Structure 1
Amino acid sequence: MSESVPAASPDFDLVLVGTGLGVHAVARAFHEEYGVVATVVTKVAIEPMRRSVTAEVIELGRSATDEDMIRRLEMIGRDRATIRPQLLLANADSVIQMLSDHRSRLEPLFVMPILSAGLLDQLSDKAEFSRLCTEHGIDTPRTEIIDFTAPLPENWTPPKSRIPFPLVVKAARTADMAHVRFPEKKKVWFVHDDEELRQLLSAIAQAGFRGRLVVQELVPGDDTTEGSITAYVDTHSRVTLLCSARVLLGEHTPDALGRPAAMITVALDDALAQARTLLEATGYRGFANLDIKLDPRTGRWVFFEVNPRIGRNNFYVSAAGANIARFPVADVIEHRALEPVTDVGEVLYSLVPVWFLLRYVRDGELRRRVRAAARRGVANPWIYGPDGRWMRRYARAVGINHIRKFLRYYPRPTSSGF
Structure 2
Amino acid sequence: MDTEQSPLGLDRAVPVLLVKVGHYPQSHSAVGAVRTFGRLGVPVHAMVEDRLTPTAVSRYLTRAVVAPSTGCEPPGQLVAAIREAARAVGRRSVAVATDDEAAVLLAEHAEELAPFLLLPPVPPGLPRRLADKGELARLCAAHDIPTPRALAPRDLDELRASAREWGYPVVLKNVGSFSRLRRPAVGATTVVSDERELLAVCPAGSVPSVLVQEYLPPEHAEDWFTHLCCGPGGEPLAVFTGRKLRSWPPGAGITTRARAVANPELAALAARLCRQIGYSGVADLDWRLDLRDGRYKLVDFNPRAGAQFRLFETADGVDVVRALHLSLTGRPVPRGAQLARSFGVGQVDLLSVAVTAWQERRPPRGSGPRRGTERAWLCRDDPVPALAEAVRFGGRVAVGLSRRAVGGAVSGVRRPGRR
1:257: Cα distance to partner?
A: 4.0
* Native 8 Å contact 1:243 1:344 kept in 2: no
1:357: Cα distance to partner?
A: 6.3
Q: Secondary structure at the match of 1:147?
A: coil
2:212 to 210, 215, 227: 215
* Native 8 Å contact 1:223 1:247 kept in 2: no
Counterpart in 2 of 1:261? Answer: 256
Amino acid at match of 1:281: Q
1:330: Cα distance to partner?
A: 1.6
1:194: Cα distance to partner?
A: 2.7
1:304: Cα distance to partner?
A: 0.6
Counterpart in 2 of 1:376? Answer: 371
1:299 to 294, 303, 315: 294
1:30: Cα distance to partner?
A: 0.7
Deviations 1:115-158 (A, max 9, x none): 3322122212211211222222222101222026xxx9xxx786
1:397: Cα distance to partner?
A: 6.5
Q: How many residues align?
A: 386
Counterpart in 2 of 1:6? Answer: 8
1:263: Cα distance to partner?
A: 0.5
1:15-414 matches, within 5 Å, as 15-18=17-20, 20-32=27-39, 34-44=40-50, 47-55=53-61, 56-61=63-68, 67-75=76-84, 77=86, 85-113=92-120, 115-147=122-154, 159-161=160-162, 162-180=165-183, 185-202=186-203, 206=206, 211=209, 213-221=210-218, 225-235=222-232, 237-252=234-249, 257-318=252-313, 321-333=317-329, 335-341=330-336, 343-352=338-347, 360=356, 367=365, 371=368, 374-388=369-383, 390-394=384-388
Instruction: Calculate the TM-score normalised by the size of structure 2.
Output: 0.78
Cα distance change of structure 1 residues 70 and 215 upon mapping to structure 2, 3 Å threshold: closer
Cα distance change of structure 1 residues 45 and 186 upon mapping to structure 2, 3 Å threshold: farther
Distance between the aligned counterparts of 1:322 and 1:186, measured in 2? 35
Deviations 1:237-291 (A, max 9, x none): 32011111211111118xx942111111112332222111111110000001001
1:165: Cα distance to partner?
A: 1.3
For the aligned residue pairs, the C-alpha RMSD in angstroms reads: 3.8
Amino acid at match of 1:378: T
1:340: Cα distance to partner?
A: 3.7
* Native 8 Å contact 2:227 2:283 kept in 1: yes
Cα distance change of structure 1 residues 352 and 269 upon mapping to structure 2, 3 Å threshold: farther
Counterpart in 2 of 1:412? Answer: none
Distance between the aligned counterparts of 1:326 and 1:113, measured in 2? 13
1:12: Cα distance to partner?
A: 0.6
Distance between the aligned counterparts of 1:273 and 1:365, measured in 2? 34
1:36: Cα distance to partner?
A: 2.1
* Native 8 Å contact 2:308 2:343 kept in 1: no
Distance between the aligned counterparts of 1:158 and 1:45, measured in 2? 44
272-281 or 390-399, which deviates more: 390-399
Distance between the aligned counterparts of 2:262 and 2:215, measured in 1? 24
Distance between the aligned counterparts of 2:129 and 2:86, measured in 1? 29
Deviations 1:13-43 (A, max 9, x none): 11112252222211111112x2123111234
Deviations 1:17-73 (A, max 9, x none): 2252222211111112x2123111234465222211122212134588754554454
Q: Secondary structure at the match of 1:387?
A: coil
Flag structure 2 segments of 5+ consecutive residues without an equivalent.
1-6, 401-408, 411-416
* Native 8 Å contact 2:133 2:211 kept in 1: yes
1:316: Cα distance to partner?
A: 0.9
1:85: Cα distance to partner?
A: 3.9
Distance between the aligned counterparts of 2:198 and 2:49, measured in 1? 37
Deviations 1:316-337 (A, max 9, x none): 114985333420122111x133
